[in-house]
Amino acid sequence: QVQLVESGGGLVQAGDSLKLSCAASGRTLSQFVLGWFRQASGKERDFVAAISWNGGRTKYGDSAKGRFTISRDNAKNTVFLQMNSLKPEDTAVYYCAARRLAFGTTASLYDYWGQGTQVTVSS
């Protein structure tokens, strides 16, 4: 079993940066693919970014390309999402998720989820 806890969300202005963290407990994350998803009010949960177990492969959703960076520190059992040039449309609850081994960008493929952290970007 894996427990994931996100942190780092908050209220920022358009153009600001924010770094989200997701700390895991229960099991080491070294064999897990880690992903970030987000869900705006009244909308479906969307893929933001994913990173392979060793950090060698990353993939970003269209909204994140060029602005967000996913990274991980397996020694600290933590995954990060650096978000730059934030826009009001980035406002959402951000979730981290984990799945074993196979790389994926679909939410239904992930086995473990955090409780989410709210990011609000004002214009």
CA gap 96, 94 in Å, rounded = 7
Helix (H, G, I), strand (E, B) or coil at 19: strand
Question: Would strands 117-122 and 10-13 be described as parallel, antiparallel, or unpaired?
Answer: parallel
* Mean pLDDT over the full length of the chain: 94
Mean pLDDT of 40-56: 94
CA gap 19, 84 in Å, rounded = 8
| Phi then psi dihedrals of residue 100, to 5 deg | -75, 130
Does 111 score more than 80 pLDDT? yes
Q: Give residue 63's Cα distance to chain centre.
A: 13
pLDDT tens-place string over residues 93-108: 999 999 987 888 999 9
Task: List the single range of 26-30, 98-102, 113-117 with lowest mean pLDDT.
Answer: 26-30
| Phi then psi dihedrals of residue 9, to 5 deg | -70, 170
Q: Which among 35, 58, 46, 59 is positioned nearest to 90, based on CA atoms? A: 46
pLDDT tens-place string over residues 78-90: 999 999 999 999 9
